[in-house]
Amino acid sequence: MKWMMGLLFALVANLCLAQAAGEFRPASSNVWDAQYPRIDAAGRVQVRVKAPEASKVRVNFWNGPKLDMQKQPDGFWTVITEPLVPGFHYYTLIIDGAEVSDPGSHAYFGGTRHASAVEIPEPGSTYYSIQDVPHGQVREVWYHSKVTGSWRHALVYLPPGYDAQTDKRYPVLYLQHGGGEDETGWIRQGRANFILDNLIAAREAEPMIVVMAYGYARRAGVSPPDMSGVAFGSPEMLKAMHEMAETFEDDVTQALIPFIDKTFRTRADRDNRAMAGLSMGGMQTFHITLNHLDLFSHIGGFSGAAGLLAPGNRKFDAKKDYNGVFADAAAFAKRVHVLWLGVGTAEAERFRTGIRGLHQSLNEAGIEHVYVESQDTDHEWQTWRRALKDFAPRLFKHGKGRS
């Protein structure tokens, strides 16, 4: 009897251990058949890497914990985090001082380099998940820019039915990535294609073409400035950023838009053209659209208000700056159908202060606009996914035509 009880106890114990282990599942961002990193329903992440000759291994979540990993007898190092907030989390491994990507995870370009990541699902949120709805296609294009004297790369989302409905033309949203990222970010990290698929299927957003271009540009024949040792926010850095912004402005208006209108079935007029971007892309958006209201009528800034700072970083004056585009509120409302601002409530003070200040200045000038705060999210993809979900359904509703 005792041996039977012991066997029963062992079976129950093993079952409990199996159930506990089963609480973790491979992250959706893993490479094929990789079992780690893993996540559980609480948002904890279990990281495991083989480094038998290492003396110290740490995991570094960029917007979260930095934890020492424990070496196991088989040469693997492991750690389990506390629950992380929902969203997309970049991380790297630091093995004996060398920062590397996790071989079990796909790499995503962010923070000026490729890094690993895990996705913590947001309970009840399916708007950025792949659903059983008609799907658009994301295509790669190359266009030659006389502005930069080079071939440039962009991704283009074409809505469901684009190839079948050959007599139909579509409005266009130019959607920009942030600093340290590239044109792949809105698809790979932001899941913009799934967000648009789901909104279009629910008839909440107009079918539209979305263009995601590489946001860095250097004018043809101009050598790159030496930025070694240049402090962030210094006059030298601001000058370099201003020159890049002006070059990218010319590239978008003189090369990219003509290429897109020639290559795809667009509605090539300002009422059917929008631009939005996150962080640096929001700055670029404000700079380009407000200088070219002959080309754009829908504007979105996701955590990106610094592009509206007046020269010398003085307080922005909505009635005077940007060549007086905000001076006449009624005239502005006729030209700009949507002006959208957003920020996460957990973002750094410089983002919250800048965007809230812009919001206040626009209110004082009587400029109609949308202002949205994403609750409890930081300067991160969850903020910008929510922004796109709110922004896209507002587009191209003003006097829309069909062709």
For residue 281, count CB atoms less than 10 angstroms from its CB and return exposed for 0-12, middle for 13-18, buried for 19 or more. buried
- Distance of alpha carbon 328 from alpha carbon 291, whole angstroms: 16
pLDDT for res 304? 85
Q: Say which CATH superfamily domain 24-120 falls into.
A: Immunoglobulins (2.60.40.10)
Q: Is the peptide bond before 159 cis (omega within 30 degrees of 0)?
A: no
Task: Express each pLDDT in 256-299 by its tens digit.
Answer: 999 999 999 999 999 999 999 999 999 999 999 999 999 999 99
CATH class of the structural domain 137-394:
alpha beta
176-181 average pLDDT score: 94
242-254 average pLDDT score: 93
- Distance of alpha carbon 34 from alpha carbon 36, whole angstroms: 6
Domain segments of the chain as ranges: 24-120, 137-394
- Model pTM greater than 0.85? yes
Say which amino acid occupies 55. S
- Distance of alpha carbon 196 from alpha carbon 278, whole angstroms: 17
- Distance of alpha carbon 208 from alpha carbon 142, whole angstroms: 20
240-260 average pLDDT score: 93
Question: Any idea how long the chain is?
Answer: 403
- Furthest C-alpha separation in the chain: 91
pLDDT score of 11 more than 90: no
Task: Express each pLDDT in 292-317 by its tens digit.
Answer: 999 999 999 999 865 454 444 556 67
